[in-house]
Structure 1
Amino acid sequence: MIDKQDKDNQQPLMVTIRCTVFNHERYLRECLDGFVMQKTNFRFEAIVHDDASTDGSAAIIKEYAEKYPDIIKPIYETENQYSKHDGSLGRIMREHTHGKYVAFCEGDDYWTDPLKLQKQVDALENNSECKICFGITETMTADGKPTGSFFPSSFEHIGNTITLEDFCREQFTHGQWFGHTSTFMYSKSLDDIRNQLLKTVFKDFPYGDITIVLTGFLYGKGYFIKDTMSRYRLNSGGFNTMMKKNTDKAIAVENKLILGMKAFDEYTEFKYHKHLQNRILRSECIKEYLSGGNNALVYLKPKYWKFAKMLGAKSLVLMILQTVMPGPYYFLKKKLKGH
């Protein structure tokens, strides 16, 4: 195993890690430590892209790049690329990706398994029909405390080899977030294909991670390793945090998701129509909930019962209590926090 890679190692580059960073100073060391601790029998690199951060992120990246020049390959922007919404960020990352496989981890998440890359490369090399690989992710609070929840939340019924039908059932019908981006690894050969699909079939998808997975499944199977490999930070100021604070944007995202699901349904000749329709209905439910001022009573409508079940009895009761009796709800919430 190669613990700290030799600068003069002439082995073929097997994995490129894509790490996007924006104002992640508070969390970034954990993320970069997760890269440099990897033990492999192959070469890998981490493209760490700082998108014009205004905190100390760039200085931390520079420190790690100087200490681990064979692994950390920095890109420093003077202008934020993500905010352009013109594909420039994706283009830059693709141009700097040279490995046979691509792995992902954003700057506020981190890997916990030092054998993550080795396990995934072995899985993909030994299962040629698989084009994408996942593991298990544990969630944590913004300050790094484990929440005790995982993605996927249940996996005993899931085998190691996953088909597009399996993914659509788990993700779109059962509402289970099948895998988190921080555990994805997929064949770089799919990069150009996904880029073209982003201009057509996937142009309305608001979540890039779904398009990564769907591209992998369109051209092969997935391999699921039942090991916890990473931690995902909740409410750390990213896209999903922003969505919770802006109702109009959240509704706009659901509208885009509906369009994306319909386009993908047509592209796959309606083979997964049942699952995609379930996801469209869930988006309609979320839109109705948000547009009604977070009115949880919408979940009592018969057509939305399946989504109420996904929330769980405790969450649903609390949401309804907040809707119909906000005074007692906030009193109870305050009392519970006091203990």
Structure 2
Amino acid sequence: MDFNKFKELYQKKEVQHFQHQVTSKPLVSVLVQAYNHEFYIKQCLDAILAQKTNFDFEILLGEDVSTDKTREICLEYAQNYPKKIRLFLHHPANKIRVMDVVTGNFNAFYNLYKARGKYIAFCEGDDYWTDPLKLQKQVDFLEIKSDFALSYHRFEEKFEQSSKKIEQLSLEQPKQDLNKNELSALIYHPLFSTVCFRNYLKDLPEEVMQVINVDSFLLSMLGTFGKAKFQSEISASVYRRHPRGIWTRKNREIQLLTKILLFKNLVSYYKDKSLTRNFQSNLKNTRKMLLVLYLKSGMPIKAVRLIPKLL
């Protein structure tokens, strides 16, 4: 769907655009989604503003009706950096619910649709980059390697108020170039805040709107366009793990259910038979894992309801 169709389906209230003086033809659009990031958003934005490039870039900052001082901070930055920041102030009526959970999907997709750059980079409002040449290095590579859809780099996890329970969720990261199949089939999964990709995703399918693992869906789509380059020369960005983070709050059942929803929607989206079979297999295996969890956790009713979907 294009932007007009997206707004027709999901925008209940007009998004407020803060006044800016950003160039109309940036080479890179950096997309930042902010929600209840009062203690982190300044570090995120400062690191992006510190990027040293020989090209123009824009920062699309979506503030998603935070309950803390995040919106106030975003307004301050938009006022101080009118030539860099395009601030979008969202309304709670536009939030998209998935699995009965209020998500930031509308905010993220609105940013993506409004991006004007040839290349796109993401950074969540509670993460931050450490290499001031990150964008320059990624764009330099992509400008000369047209068969690569994206590049990515290392990241480090920063645990705040950490506990053993949270630390067990530590992410694995690939550290090599990925071919189209490895990326599109989600065999390997670069962290989205390390990625810089070509702006191929101008039309988005309905299926991606209805998942929680949006980054996984988008990475799979990008893999159909080209390969992924791992740039070891870029300093690791920081992926923050804290009690407010979405994945640190989810128990094992919810994690598996979100994966099941992702694979179901990817099966629905793809027409390519090999990718469809891949995600059908992933779907079946994840349902088996959920069945085992239900049996071990003493939830026989849920287990019985799941069995027909495995047959």
TM over 0.5: yes
Paired letter, 1:186: F
The C-alpha deviation readout for 1:151-189, integer Å capped at 9, x for no partner, is 65453xx33xx32223367x43xxx5x31110122122x
Query: Which residue is 2:182 aligned to?
Result: 166
- Please give the alpha-carbon distance, in whole angstroms, between the structure 1 residues aligned to 2:62 and 2:21: 24
**How do 1:293-312 residues align onto structure 2 when only pairs under 5 Å count?**
none
C-alpha change, 1:267 and 1:294, in structure 2 (3 Å) is: farther
CA contact (8 A) 2:52 2:136 kept: yes
**Is 1:206 paired with 2:212?**
yes
Larger Rg: 1
CA distance in structure 1 between the aligned counterparts of 2:40 and 2:21, rounded to whole angstroms: 31
Q: Which residue of 1 aligns with 2:240?
A: 233
Return the letter of the residue paired with 2:183: F
Are the counterparts in 2 of residues 49 and 75 from structure 1 also a CA contact under 8 Å? Answer: yes
Q: Work out which of the residue numbers 189, 193, 201 in structure 2 matches 1:191.
A: 201
Q: Paired residue for 1:223?
A: 229
Q: 1:45 to 1:285 in 2, by over 3 A?
A: same
Q: Which runs of 5+ in 2 are unaligned?
A: 1-19, 299-311
Equivalent residue in structure 2 for 1:133, among 146, 151, 155: 151
2:274: which partner in 1? 270
Structure 1 unpaired stretches of 5+: 1-6, 296-339
Aligned-pair distance for 1:243? 2.4
Residues 104-124 of structure 1: CA deviation (Å, up to 9, x unaligned): 011111111111111111111
Q: Are 1:284 and 2:251 matched, yes or no?
A: no
Q: Residue 144 of structure 1 contacts residue 233 of structure 1 at CA under 8 Å; is this kept in 2?
A: no
The 2-side partners of 1:69 and 1:9 are apart by: 7
Aligned residue number for residue 75 of structure 2: 62
Distance 1:130 1:294, change over 3 A: farther
> In the superposition, relative to structure 1, how do residues 187 and 150 fare at CA in structure 2: closer, same or farther (>3 Å)?
farther
Match of 1:106 among 124, 131, 137: 124
1:259 match: 264
Change in 2 beyond 3 A, CA 1:252/1:166:
closer
Cα distance in 2, alignment partners of residues 253 and 11 from structure 1 = 37
Structure 1 vs Structure 2 CA RMSD: 3.3
Larger fraction in helix: 1
Q: 2:262 is matched by which residue type in structure 1?
A: L
By how many angstroms is 1:133 displaced?
Answer: 1.8
Identify if the C-alpha distance between structure 1 residues 260 and 228 changes in structure 2 by more than 3 Å, giving closer, same or farther.
farther
Task: Report percent identity of matched pairs.
Answer: 25
The aligned length equals: 269
Which among 18, 24, 42 is matched to residue 29 of structure 1?
A: 42
Counterparts in 2 of 1:143 and 1:228: CA distance versus 1, 3 Å = farther
